[in-house]
Structure 1
């Protein structure tokens, strides 16, 4: 497993070492000791989640606040998504900056999204299966988010707006300026 630093502090891309032959392939998708050695801190993932979505499904930008903030390790096991992380830590030198990375079943990359980040993705293939590890439990009262089309973030979601499939809840998320006035 190799780590790729992103332009965002504490947010990393992981590229696995893939062993292939005429039978197929094998790779280690997660190893706690290696993972923590690469990022330089301990993370205790306590829950795995999976989501199936159709092309154009845009989920996000979500985060949990306070004691229920979550770090996530995300990957795609079927299809292709554009995965986005936004640094919402006011004391960070990368505050309000974002990255967008394609995660797919083919490239097998993973993205580590630390606590204090908003996270979302859009499905670019016909369908996708999205998997993620969380280091904290979900708490409905702590959930929050940022509207996907916030002009101050200027995220290029790679699809046309009329192709987006967005939940009613995500359509009414606040802007960055509303959250940080």
Structure 2
């Protein structure tokens, strides 16, 4: 069995001190434990086992502080990036972002309104329904609808006006 490299031996001797140091630095025992574990992984993969290190305790302290600083900087970058994304993509009112997803009540209400609208459209006279669907649902202009159905543009406009009036009446809304 190969002898334990000197840096690993020193690490094991100073581990409790490094944990206290990092807990004080980061304010989190869990974060300190993660950093100490990362230190071990890095020390274990050093090609020469740390043979050339003159002041081992100072080396371990510096490594611990560098890793803590790197994590803090990475966390600050992530927080800034997330903050920029939220400000660009989410509605924020106070300290918390407002969910953009509709509530269950909004979804149910929307489905009920859609069903009422579909029923109201289905109740239109056949020619009025065709004109309404071609204009409002397919986005076709009045002139194109008139040509397609073989009626005048004025007739298309009258069908649209009647359809809108019927829909608004059926849905319980006033013309404005």
| TM-score category of the 2 structures, normalised to the smaller one | under 0.3
Task: Select the structure that is richer in helix.
Answer: 2
The TM-score with structure 1 as length reference comes to 0.18
Q: Which of 1 and 2 has greater Rg?
A: 2
The TM-score with structure 2 as length reference comes to 0.18
